[in-house]
Chains A and B, each alone.
Chain A
Amino acid sequence: MIGVCVSAQIARTEPHNPEAGLGERIAENQRRVFQIAYSVLGNSADAEDAAQEAFLRAYQKFASLREAEKFRPWVNRIVFRLALNRQRDYRRRLARDTAWQVTETPVMVDGAKDAEQLVMLDRLRREIERLPEKLRSVLQLSLVEEMDASDVGAVLGIPAGTVRSRLHTARKLLLEVMK
């Protein structure tokens, strides 16, 4: 009886920990994955929810995602899609609710220096929202750390050259409107 208990204990704690591999992948990717969600959603709480969902989905099909090189593009793509879905739901709710002004307070932006900058950032976000979807996606993904043109292209299924030219157009449009 004691022997059974001990071996059960070992099985639970010791060498076979199914989440061990996932922990590693989270450590390597969490910052970027979170930022992708954040660039779309604009607040930490929602971004964390989307990022967590992305990692849990990755975990479900972890057998095929064990290698880091496969994991990275997969999780980038999935978190971007999850964030877009959330944003869509959010906009739908916003359109339904009357008190829509209350929501987009950019107070929790880390590192933003002063009130004026916060106001400008709020305006910038709204202008990004107004960009054509193709340009907006490229811009949002390109603003994430460690995401070069080919990473962005992998998420969106377009060549790196297209990413660069769309990014340029997006910045030009923003430059025009952010007076």
Chain B
Amino acid sequence: MKNACEIWKDQLLEAALTGSLTAGLEEHLRTCTICSEELGNIRARKARLDTLLPFVAQRSEPSANFRAQVLAAARAAREGKRARPWRVWRLAGATAVVVVVLMMGLTLQRRTARMIPENELAAAQKLTEWRAPSDGLLVTPGQEILRTMPRLGESYLDVPVKTDEEE
């Protein structure tokens, strides 16, 4: 194409695409063999393009078992989803255990870290003196009270009272 004919380039493409010529181009083609030839080339290219373009997407289709495959995958996904809740609970349980263990660990650490108060020391002392449960049955914390309990025939009301006589 000559440089002077560059201005017709777009109109030539349009002519090939739409199949109709503008009045100006028609006029030019009557006198310009180069552009006439070019229009022929573009039209041939357009025909080739039209045969090729359908292959970009059309003329292609999924395999015969595509639908069955998708349905199987959907079923698998649904069954996997149904199984998920108990997996979630298991995870939640494991998390709870971890949290409890961590909290216990923290509490213990804090306890040993601070100064041990006297009453706790005493309690610890008692722990070291712990005896078998059978001993515990014999020695009860209520022993003191039992000793002061009224015996048969006595009364709580029988409290020693200071009397004038005694004085």
Contact = CB atoms under 8 A, between A and B. Distances in A.
A179 B42 CA distance: 8
Nearest to A172: B13
A63 B108 CA distance: 53
B55 A175 contact: no
Contacts of B71: 19, 22-23, 26
B17 A112 contact: no
Contacts of A18: 78
Contacts of A27: 67
A30 B78 CA distance: 21
Contacts of B69: 52
Nearest to B63: A48
Contacts of A69: none
A34 B55 contact: no
Contacts, number: 112
Contact of A36 (B14, B16, B45, B57): B57
Interface in B35-77: 42, 45-46, 48-49, 51-63, 66-67, 69-71, 73-75, 77
B80 to A, nearest CB: 12
Interface residues of B, number: 32
A120 B56 CA distance: 11
A44 interface: yes
A59 interface: yes
B77 to A, nearest CB: 6
A124 B57 CA distance: 12
Interface string A79-114: 000000000000000000000000000000111100
A175 B52 contact: no
Nearest to B43: A175
Interface of A: 18-19, 22-23, 26-27, 30-31, 34-36, 38-39, 42, 44, 47-48, 51-52, 55-56, 59-60, 109-112, 117, 120-121, 124-125, 128, 140, 143-145, 168, 171-172, 174-176, 178-179
